[in-house]
Structure 1
Amino acid sequence: MREENVVQGALPPAQLGVDETLSVQVQNWLEVQCSQIPTALGGLVMLVDAEGLQPEALWPDAKAVEPLLDLSERAGARREGLIAPLPSSDGFGIAWPLMEDGSLIAVAALAIEVGDDAALQTIMRQLQWGAAGLQLLIVQNLSGYARDRANALAASVDLLAEVLAASRFDAAAMALVTSIATRLGADRGSLGLLEGEVIKVAHVSHSAQVGDSVSLIQRIEAAMEEVVDQRLPIAIPMIQRDDEAPIRIAHERLVLQERGAIMTIPLFQDGIAVGALTVERPSYFPFSSAEMKILESVAALAVTALLDKKRSDQPLARRALRELREATERVMGRDRKERRIAAALALVLVVAALLAPGTDRVSAYAQIEPRQQIILAAPFDGYVRSASSRAGDPVKRGAVIAVLDDSDLLLERARWESQVNRYGGEFQDASATQDRVQINASSAERDEAQAQFDLANAFLMRSVLKAPFDAVLVSGDLSQRIGAAVTKGEELFRIAPRGAFRVDLRIPESRIADMRPGQRGLLHLSSLPSQPFRFTVGNITPRTLADGGETYFIVEAMLDSRQSLAVLQPGMKGVAKVVVGRGWLLGIWTRDISNWLRLKLWTLFG
């Protein structure tokens, strides 16, 4: 085996697309090359695509070039020309890689029958020279392909801008079909959208003169359904494609009526067919594969924006129903039997759960309040001397809470004490002289002085404010008023017995009729969310509270004394739930809306 190294050190294969007309050109090149070599047994050209080297042209048949496949693969992998004897043959195989910018784009190979090395070298040089022409041909086609793709992208962006610029769906659809018809030189452009199981023509370009031709619209719709069913574009005259030739009965019927060239492409969104686009122009101006690709690119880019505008134009209720239907179709498609069964079972379970009996509860904001409160007021006009406790402090029975200044009271008591002694002496002197008038006067003055003296003592005792029982101070703080004046009867402190609490529930007006004394419930406080407190509804008061436009009734409840209440403090807030009965879960969950609806209907219709 002989090998001649020609090109080395190339980059990995590039993934290149190839225009359809390139196949014919490559086949022609190969036939000319083989005809110029009398000893040629076969020829093969392989082009690089996304999956690697693929046969693009062969001569004279597949059996003759089968030995060249492996040699071409090796030449492409090594990026160098190779000469090797053919298996089970007296001939040789010659393979030459074609490079562009360091990347492999193709491999040309020949099977020849020669008798000496000189002839072999001559054929090798001829293949090299011919490969240069093939390389130029491929590069030119690839450049044209890139240019077509750039033009397609530019057209797509321009059309998308026109669609987005329109504020409503009708204007956007008309702009799309009119612009496509104008750019392609078409007489008519038609946009059809899928409605249920059939396609309906939504808009026709401004150049069309459809009039009242119902049959023409029906034929266009049939052609659109034909491409949607097959998920393939169709053009008449037929454009050669790699795909299997599609069925085109509806298109042929449309051609018989319109006598022109027709092209229809399906429209997809997220892989789901949503409609089709049809363009028509004179028969002497058939559509090309490049135009078909451009139209497909334009449609793929514009269809999403177009459908978004269509959805935005729909009424809210219809939009919601459509979204629900689409979500249902995505979850329970025709090919998803297991999901449909699971959804049916879930629906049955939900209905059963809604019709199942449940506990009806009334939720309410709640606040801890003392069951009894006592006010400690100032016994006389005076001044604050000291304060040892303030709001929130627990106090024992007899504990000093605050002391008022008693200087004036001590002087007052001393004055009246001297008066008692004076009038007592005068009473004794009058008794000794048996002066009855003086006796009566002295006795009355002595009794008055004694009463004032006792009153002064009482005030002195009351100047020290003490807790009458074990309690907690609910309000009051004299520690910031030392030396300040207080007036007789002024509220200084409010105290409540320790552990004696009630719960004030704010029941909404719509649920007050469900409340009954003796009903039980649970309370969770914001400061103690993990500790529930049991209570029993006691008094349903007529007191109301307005908050946020709603009216609430105050219902008093008693806490269960068998649970620990030492952690509670007046003013604590939380949420309470009162058990008011049992009923269907559906009725419980929809009570508020059903009551509101019932009231509105009565207001409107009496």
Structure 2
Amino acid sequence: MSNPTVVSSSEAVRSLEACRIFAGPVKEFWPKFAQTCASLVNPSVTAVLVNVNGDWKQAAAFPPGREFPVALRGAQFAELMVRVIAEGSILIPGGGPMVPALVLIALQTGDPKESVVLVQALPGVAADHVSAALAVLKLAADTPLLYQRQRQLERARRELINYSQALEILAATNVPTRFLAVAMTLVNELASRYRCVRVSLSWRDGPYLRVIAISGTDKFEKRMLAVQKLEAAMEEARDQDEEIAWPALPDTDVISRDHRAYSEQEKTGSLLTVPVRVTGEVRGVLALEREEIFTEHDALSLRVVADQVARRLDDLHRHDRWFGARWAAAARVELAGFLGPKRTWLKAGVILGALLLAFSVFVPLPYRVNASFIVRADALMHLPAAFEGFIGDVNVRPGDLVKKGDLLVQLDSSDLRVELAAAIAERQRYASESEKAEAERKLSDLRAARALQAQSQARVDLILYRMDRAGLVAPFDGVVVEGDLRERIGAPVRSGDVLIKISQLKGLYVEMKVLERDVDLIADSTRAEVAFNTRPEDTFGVKINRIEPSAVVDTEGNIFVVRGSLENGAEWLRPGMSGVAKIETQKRTLFWICTHRLADFLRLKLWW
């Protein structure tokens, strides 16, 4: 057997440091990482495997293009990967010169849903050197995690710079109060900060975009060919609702024909257009021209700037033209022809007020009493621990749907298995003593041995009974409403401790809380509507079944509980959901609706 060259721990840390501070994308990181790990133990064949939808795919290998000496597929290999993820690392000694030793390390990425394993094959290596290789390669386990955190820090730093720059530009645009002045301030600020030859802003004018501001230029001819070409490039960005750069940014598939045409005509080194969106709709487009090529970071920072200034530009564009004043003047002219030219608004207000008063006094409207509600279930099952032990495995969490017989929680039965083995051995020993006493015709020893054998058998039966109840199964189809034990794996539990609560999804009903002051209004009510906090846009009809005869003290005061059944269900309904209920009552006038609270208050305070 050959002995590989294994670097020291300090040398390994220095080699891995380059990977940890690597600034490139993920697709370039894994080949570099595989090469670095291969350099730690030489000779070796290294592969990085990633679990994609239950199937292990090779993300990188070193040497590249070389077939791995061991098959990285099959059921046995899948079981081996499960062990690696659970244990952190596995060492498999080689079986001779033709069967290499394997070192498998579970890599940390920071994402609990992502499984990545480093596999290194060491052909013809002695067992002690394989252990040394494992110790060195364990130092690489946290390298992907540190790389990801380094990228997150860099991303956070760039976002901080982008938002800081956006706030500075926003502060500069907050000084002017007219739309065109704000637009000129914006393009001049962007031209200065991004070292641009020219920055232009277009805004929607009917169905088209029109250039309204160009940096360094107070006036320009809108019919110029260059302006029309620029507007065509802006329309191209608006149609795709995407930042478009020419030359194109890496890994983009946008159409940039008009951008290329404008750049070739104006002989600009680089062109970048950024949509200005308001509530998801493109209202304008920024176009930046400079000799230096635009990068993805430039596009991202300009997107932040555009998002920050979009609302102010849109508000000024709508109000700077003073459409409201013209509409008000036109309405006054029409009313003056009917009511007379003097005090037109006062006359119109008096007539409108009289009509509203008559409507509020004489026209009854539907009136509904507001109440809070919560969804209850008829069946709720508590699943306790059958014996004192430790939590071994958890398969569900609150909110999971389960079927009858599904295994929910498995208590650790390793201690029970040890006790079972000891009890079986003890039972066998007493059985042997019983046979020996029977053969020697020792009646008293025979009876004692058989009594002890029966006692051992009872102990075996008790242990088997506990092992059968080590797994908590769902007693019926339903949903888990309480018992998030994923962070308590290995924690001790006592016999009788409730671990899981399951509720049936059938038989759900609504429990509404009506204030004491409103209970008289709903005495004859038979129907209500409810809206859930999770989905306020959907309402459900409720048939009122009964009103509890006695009041209950609540945080809001005395309440009466009203129970009702849902007329229509939904798959997402769960026990414990809450929201607002509106209970239908008799029709009331708008005047009564607005004044009955005050009237009741005065009756209580001023009666004699």
Larger radius of gyration between Structure 1 and Structure 2? 1
TM (norm. structure 1) is 0.41
Give the TM-score taking structure 2 as reference length: 0.41
